[in-house]
Amino acid sequence: MKFLGLIRANLFRKKIRFILTIGSFAVALFLFGILAVVRVAFSGGVDIAGADRLVVINRTSIIQPLPFAYANKIKRIPGVKEITYANWFGGVYQDERNFFPQFAMDVDNWRKVYPEFAIPEEQWQNFVNDRQGAIAGAATAKRFGWKVGDRIPIKGTFLGGVWEFNLDGIYHGTRQADDETQFWFQWKRYDEQVPAQYKGHVGWYTVKLEHPDDSLRISKAIDGEFANSPFETHTDTEKAFAAGWVKQFGNIQSLIMWIGGVVFFTLLLVTGNTMAIAVRERTGELAVLKAVGYSDRFVLLFVLCESLLIAVFGGALGLGLAKLFTLGGDPTRGLLPFFFLPGKAILAGLGVTLAVGAASGLIPAIGAMRLRVVDALRRV
């Protein structure tokens, strides 16, 4: 503690340089934070996907339907605990830019398969008893200022017409990463209103397993059950399904790693150079410290400490700004339902900050440690 004054005085010695160096860290860590947000936005569904859930889609493509009658056959396969289903609706609320996912879903088993979505029981019962009812995620309700009891018109796209819904409830995710942007309405209503060729079909099934370890066996069993039928299936774990979905956008993870790597390498060069200059211009002072009894190790730690403090200040500032940015919500109007900076990313950011701070200060610090007093004083 008694050396804090010495460290503080040195940190603020060149205020502009101090601010610019802090700024370099802040910008880099802000970018790191935003990249982490983007990564979560694309892969959040993968990270939180249930290990005990399978998704069954049409083998040809997810846009091809599956017969409703498959539900009972799948349910009979040993190891299957529950099954539910849904259809993608793809309607427009007021403006095409107001995107949010809308599902025609099975009210009987939905909550058993997706227990992570919490909804007051009374609201749920109202929904179940209301063929025109709907439930919205908290984020979507907040976004459009919806309240329970509101009448919500949604224009059908491929089905046409305006579909009116009574908002009977609002659900919340029980985990930070749970998607709160969905809009659910009863599959039965959907099935009643769609043209004849679409009736009796679902978009996909979600199967909840007794034991996650059975996922491979049951996947094979489901696909085997419908092999060589007009509607062959493709079954995968929910995690693999979500990962496959993300892959359609390219290798986001790798892209982010590359951008992050380049940013931090540049930061390392900038701060390393700054620290080297800062130490070089203080050669005489460091020599005096050694002359009056400060050890080589102290000088090493002293320089490293400065470097680490700059890194921590800048890093914390950048991550704080990134966090603030995410508090404003998804700027894409619903395309990125998982839009938040996870705690793990903040910790990783601080870890990287410390590593860059230590690496950038290490060489100047070793130089300062090895400095011979007589040589340094001769140069002054």
Amino acid at 180: E
CB of 313 to other proteins, least distance (A): 18
Which residue lies nearer to other proteins by CB, 199 or 372? 372
Do 260 and 349 meet the contact criterion of CB atoms below 8 Å apart? Answer: no
Nearer to other proteins, 9 or 327 (CB): 9
Checking 259-262 for CB contacts under 8 A at 24+ apart, the result is 259/31, 259/35, 260/31, 260/32, 260/35
Q: How far is the CB of 360 from other proteins (least distance, A)?
A: 21
In angstroms, give the least distance from the CB of 32 to other proteins: 32
Tell me whether residue 74 or residue 376 sits nearer to other proteins (CB atom).
376
Q: Which two tokens stand for residue 348?
A: 């990783």
For 371, what's the count of Cα atoms within 13 Å in the CB-facing half-sphere? 32
Composition of the chain by helix, strand, coil, percent to 5 = 55, 15, 30
Diameter of the chain by CA atoms?
Answer: 95
Beta strands in 150-293 (DSSP E): 151-155, 162-173, 183-186, 201-202, 204-209, 233-237
Residue 38 or 288: the one with the smaller Cβ distance to other proteins is 288
In the complex with other proteins, the residue whose CB is nearer, 104 or 278, is 278
Q: Which residue has the tokens 């069993």?
A: 221
User: In the complex with other proteins, which residue's Cβ is closer, 198 or 294?
Assistant: 294
Question: Footprint of other proteins on this chain (CB under 8 A)?
Answer: 2-3, 5-6, 9-10, 12-13, 284-285, 287-297, 372-374, 377, 380
Least gap, CB of 292 to other proteins (angstroms): 5
Q: Could you tell me the smallest distance in angstroms from the CB atom of residue 17 to other proteins?
A: 13
Nearest to other proteins of 64, 295 (CB atom): 295
Asked whether the beta carbons of 85 and 202 are under 8 A apart, the reply is yes
Tokens of 213: 């370890």
Question: Min. distance of Cβ 283 from other proteins in angstroms?
Answer: 11
The one-letter code for the residue type at 50 is G
